[in-house]
Structure 1
Amino acid sequence: MRERFGDACRVRLGDGGTVWFVLGHDPVRSALTDPRLIKDWTRVPGMEGLRDGRRAIDHHMLDLDPPHHTRLRRLVSREFTPRRIATLESRLEEITRELLDTMTAGPERRADLVASLAVPLPMTVICELLGVPFLERDDFRAWSAVLLGAAGPEEEREAAVAMNAYLADLVERKREVGGDDLLAALIRTRDEEGDRLSGSELIGMAFLLLVAGHETTVNLIANAALALLTHPDQLAALRRDPDLIDEVIEETLRRDPPVERATFRFTTEPVRFGEVTVPAGEGLLVILASVGRDPAHAPDADRFDILRDSRPPHLSFGHGIHFCLGAPLARLEARIALRALLERCPELAPDTGPREIRHRVSLIVRGPERLPVRW
């Protein structure tokens, strides 16, 4: 049993293997910027020979280190810009209105908020942004749910193979017909030296943007709505002052972040976290969700409170070179969705008890499977 909140601890996994968890604000912040912790698993001693077997969807920034990460991020940042995100606001509002029109059209005055709003809004937005045809989105959502869930290895492999094949075909179609969407722009983009993304890198980047681009926001919207519905005093405060919506989002990111951990890192030499030293060659998971619950930085850390005198820190979008490119988009989508929902449904209330809410079974993301509401 651990005696300290922070530092690191070794955890035995269900398959019998072990991994190190890094927990708490200071250890997590340090781990996310420590060059001795690498992301590219093909650089780990004993795994170099597996490089040729890497799938195209694995060729993305999240599992790479400098200088390869630097190169990819530079190329993608040329197109995935704050300016492009800012132009989406009116479209986001339009999609949200349409979804709420559908949700509130029937006489039942009841709905599952996850299925009605939290999933279709970010899914529609990211697919439109990258140019994924409407009729193909359900398949992609199903594959994503398998890969981020707790499915068996065979089911995960089948989903990965199907997604890889689909994205390879999508990239080829974009090459032929072009367009003004983000994926078409990534195919065209070159830097000052003429460098561009390879075919595998385009597939990997499409995978990363599509999966991360909707899964994070799905759970951010659902977690924020759940927190408000189970804390009526906070919901009342927000109704009195709608400008507190940004505090709702940041408090949700602190207390119930949509992504619980970063992807694997590996130690290239012994690394010390407080009183614990992780040996070289070990797998390590940085637990992002532990940052906002660290009592040394967040007084009464388990309490959901949008009226705090000072905002405790969180690192729910990461830190350092791997900070989430889509953070501004996720915040914008959540802000628009929650504000529109509360305006449309002024008497919104939970339609089940808190103990009946079941969260997704996942080692990566966190959010309710369903969120029944009434109005």
Structure 2
Amino acid sequence: MPIDVAALTAASGTELAEIFAGLHEAGPVHQARYHDVDMWLVTGHDEARKLLTDARRFSNRESYANPAAQASPMLVHQDVSGLPPMLPFLDPPDHTRLRRLINRVFTPARVERLRPSVQQIADELLDAMATRDECDLVRDFAFPLPVSVIMRLVGVPAERGEDFHRWAGLFATGDPEKMPLVPAAMAEMLAFAGSLVRQRRAQPEDDLLSAMVTATESGEAMTPEEAAAMVFALVAAGHETTLNLIGSGMLTLLDNPAMPAALRDDLSGVDAAVEELLRVDAPAKMTAFRYVVEDVELAGTRMRAGDVVAVLLAAANQDPRRFSGGACPHLAPETGTPHIAFGAGVHFCVGAPLARLEARIAFRGLLGRFTDFEITVPRDELRWKASLFVRGPLSLPMRYRLR
């Protein structure tokens, strides 16, 4: 029987681990169905990496999908509030041009220059947490940290901070009651991004957006529409990885108390711990849908041109053929087989260095300043994002004390 992909959105962490274990036992590639669309779901690590690094035979453009998939309202991704297609939905050479331009400005050096700002924002949030013994870790720390960082990165004026946080909150929502508000927020965000682009083109400043709108590569530059789309992508997706990693990662640490105990004694282990948290509870649960360009065989499974396929990143990172720990995190991550929480190939996450920096500073601060974390509601009352593609708690009420 095909796997019901949509049903994965409602599964708890424990249920997902059990589901993944069953899928790994059955094989690395599975027949699946997403609402009205037949598709393939890849759960094996090696097979996932092979697919992700083969942009020639596995495309992100719906134009390669079979007629049934193209007719499905569930698989329309590219036309977002009039935005030009964004990086995740482009193939080379269009993708290559934009990726080369963004790589010129979103460099490791620029990310490293953000370290003092990230540390300052984290310290201010931690200081506020230290004035009480309870908080909602998502609302009070995991969400405002990356959103505030992106505001500084792009150069959002302080007076627009409230709007910026509201838009980001709606993009990250998994609350069905709030979903009808998202299209209007997207339109507002696009209009705001367009005005920022026009300002920076006229008067560049020392921020990422100015660098984007002035960058050139072989005589080519981003159009204003492409730059606005990039701002939109940074807001809509740029904070999700850190937000979900902090929330889900804290739950994973609580379920494995030996890890936080050891890390409090030696915070130098936080960097490695973050990699394990990325592996065992990938904040991006599944890739965007991809489409088979030409008949291809993957792990003995014959896929036809036009077939829909997706990688279940969260399962591939727990593949027991490559990670002996499976769903259990290790204090010392295994070497030799890197996780694919940020994807692989040409679509490897642009913001991965920033997400790592934010998460490392976040967990050093949380574990260095507080102890005895305890969730103040029953686990089965925690609400999770009702999303197929990202995973994280909507709220995380906690009690703690200063070290």
TM-score of the two chains, using structure 2 as the length reference:
0.84
**Closer, same or farther: CA 200–309 of 1 in aligned 2, 3 Å:** closer
Gaps of 5+ in 2: 3-21
**Closer, same or farther: CA 90–301 of 1 in aligned 2, 3 Å:** same
Per-residue CA deviation, residues 115-168 of structure 1 (Å, 9 max, x unaligned), is: 11111111100111011232321232134125x776798655444434333322
What secondary structure is seen at the aligned counterpart in 2 of 1:348?
strand
Residue 331 (str. 1) matches residue 356 (str. 2): yes
1:360-371 equivalence runs, <5 A: 360-371=385-396
How many angstroms apart in 2 are the aligned matches of 1:195 and 1:98? 41
The answer on whether the counterparts of 2:65 and 2:307 sit within 8 Å (CA) in structure 1 is no
The answer on whether the counterparts of 1:39 and 1:64 sit within 8 Å (CA) in structure 2 is yes
What secondary structure is seen at the aligned counterpart in 1 of 2:40?
strand
Gaps of 5+ in 1: none
Residue 71 (str. 1) matches residue 91 (str. 2): no
How many angstroms apart in 1 are the aligned matches of 2:239 and 2:113? 18
How many angstroms apart in 1 are the aligned matches of 2:78 and 2:137? 43
How many angstroms does 1:28 deviate by? 0.4
Per-residue CA deviation, residues 295-336 of structure 1 (Å, 9 max, x unaligned), is: 111124122222456575310111111111211111111111
How many angstroms apart in 2 are the aligned matches of 1:269 and 1:258? 31
Residue 321 (str. 1) matches residue 346 (str. 2): yes
How many angstroms apart in 1 are the aligned matches of 2:332 and 2:202? 52
Which residue does 1:136 correspond to in 2?
163
Residue 99 (str. 1) matches residue 125 (str. 2): yes
Per-residue CA deviation, residues 6-28 of structure 1 (Å, 9 max, x unaligned), is: 432232223x2233211110110
1:198-277 equivalence runs, <5 A: 198-277=223-302
How many angstroms does 1:349 deviate by? 3.2
How many angstroms apart in 2 are the aligned matches of 1:315 and 1:160? 29
Paired residue for 1:123, among 147, 170, 193? 147
Q: Share of identical aligned residues, percent? A: 37
How many angstroms apart in 2 are the aligned matches of 1:226 and 1:126? 25
Which residue does 2:43 correspond to in 1?
23
CA-atom RMSD, angstroms?
A: 2.7
How many angstroms apart in 2 are the aligned matches of 1:351 and 1:200? 46
How many angstroms apart in 2 are the aligned matches of 1:95 and 1:51? 33
Which residue does 1:60 correspond to in 2?
86
345-354 or 222-231, which deviates more: 345-354
Return the letter of the residue paired with 1:167: A
What secondary structure is seen at the aligned counterpart in 2 of 1:78?
helix
Residue 195 (str. 1) matches residue 217 (str. 2): no
Which residue does 1:179 correspond to in 2?
205
What secondary structure is seen at the aligned counterpart in 2 of 1:129?
helix
How many angstroms apart in 1 are the aligned matches of 2:365 and 2:139? 16
Per-residue CA deviation, residues 261-290 of structure 1 (Å, 9 max, x unaligned), is: 111211111222213212111221111111
Residue 86 (str. 1) matches residue 106 (str. 2): no
How many angstroms apart in 2 are the aligned matches of 1:52 and 1:30? 24
The count of aligned residue pairs is 369
What secondary structure is seen at the aligned counterpart in 2 of 1:200?
helix
Paired residue for 2:61, among 40, 46, 51? 40
Which residue does 2:6 correspond to in 1?
none
Which residue does 2:28 correspond to in 1?
7
The answer on whether the counterparts of 1:260 and 1:366 sit within 8 Å (CA) in structure 2 is yes
**Closer, same or farther: CA 222–29 of 1 in aligned 2, 3 Å:** same
**Closer, same or farther: CA 90–33 of 1 in aligned 2, 3 Å:** same
**Closer, same or farther: CA 51–294 of 1 in aligned 2, 3 Å:** closer
How many angstroms apart in 1 are the aligned matches of 2:117 and 2:179? 38
**Closer, same or farther: CA 327–85 of 1 in aligned 2, 3 Å:** same
